Amino acid sequence: MPKKSAVHANFKSKKFSFKNVVITCFDWIEQFLIKVADFSLFTARFFKELFIPPFEWNEFVRQAYFIGNKSLFLVGITGFIMGLVLTIQSRPTLAEFGAESWLPAMISVSIVREIGPVITALICAGKVGSGIGAELASMKVTEQIDAMEVSGINPFKYIVFTRILASSLMLPLLTIYSDFISMLGSFVGVNIKGDSSFHLFFAQAFAEISFMDVIPSLIKTLFFGFSIGLISTYQGYTSNKGTEGVGQAANTAVVISSLMVFIIDIVAVQVTSIFL
């Protein structure tokens, strides 16, 4: 009997009251608002540093090389498979309506407008975002950022500003590269069960693409790259949980960057539909 009463008392002590739930919710909201304010100040500091010399051009070029060149293989393989699979999956549906000749145009418009930019951004969010978040968090843990401040170097300008600017510049270029590789994959897919010359395929593909398809998608990728760089550097630069924070910064950078890619894409589609 004593054991039963002890278990019952222990169970009652673990029950959450309505007051505790409300307090927990308010604490969570408070922490969220503090994070939003801190992130806003972090973003404002980036735009402030944009107009204050000196500029770390060598570090910017190095980061652009790392983000762009080091991502070419993964982006190219993904783009090729994406174009190939999309073509193979779309052919039977168009064949039912006798519209197989529209396949190159349909694939090209789909890739250029939506699929290419979003898939490339998600790849960069996973590869580049996690790398930046983990790298800056490691520098924070090992006190390299503090050492920069002591030696008179502006760590924000050197390790944050350059990475955000490089990711904003390189993502549109990677998207153009991915679109072209995807078209090559689509060309291979068309010729698996058909016979189309290289010239005919790309003539049909580019016939339906206009500058109003290309320009909005590239502008969109500029915001994709900016958000990936900004979120990743923020997560790494503000990490303060020791070695545990390195993995957490990398994971959070990927998750939030991927989510922001979809949010920006939704907004961009709505804005484009209004003006076009």
Same domain, 127 and 184: yes
Same domain, 204 and 270: yes
Same domain, 28 and 93: no
Task: List the structure tokens of 191.
Answer: 């010729």
pTM: 0.85
Q: How many whole angstroms separate alpha carbon 77 and alpha carbon 81?
A: 6
Greatest C-alpha distance within the chain: 88
Q: Which domain holds residue 34?
A: 1-52
Distance of CA 253 to the CA centre of its chain: 9
Same domain, 44 and 62: no
User: Is residue 111 classed exposed, middle or buried when 0-12, 13-18 and 19+ CB atoms within 10 A define those classes?
Assistant: buried
Q: How many whole angstroms separate alpha carbon 260 and alpha carbon 49?
A: 23
Q: How many whole angstroms separate alpha carbon 185 and alpha carbon 40?
A: 41
What is the number of structural domains in the chain? 2
Backbone angles phi, psi at 55, to 5 degrees: -110, 135
Q: How many whole angstroms separate alpha carbon 163 and alpha carbon 144?
A: 17
Tens-level pLDDT at each residue, the chain (276 residues): 444 555 444 444 445 566 677 777 877 888 888 888 988 999 998 998 888 888 888 889 999 998 888 889 999 999 999 999 998 888 888 777 777 778 888 888 889 988 999 999 999 999 899 989 888 988 888 888 888 888 878 888 889 999 999 999 999 999 999 999 999 999 998 888 777 788 888 888 888 888 888 888 899 999 999 999 999 999 988 887 777 778 888 889 999 999 999 999 999 888 887 776
Same domain, 149 and 267: yes
Task: List the structure tokens of 105.
Answer: 């145009």
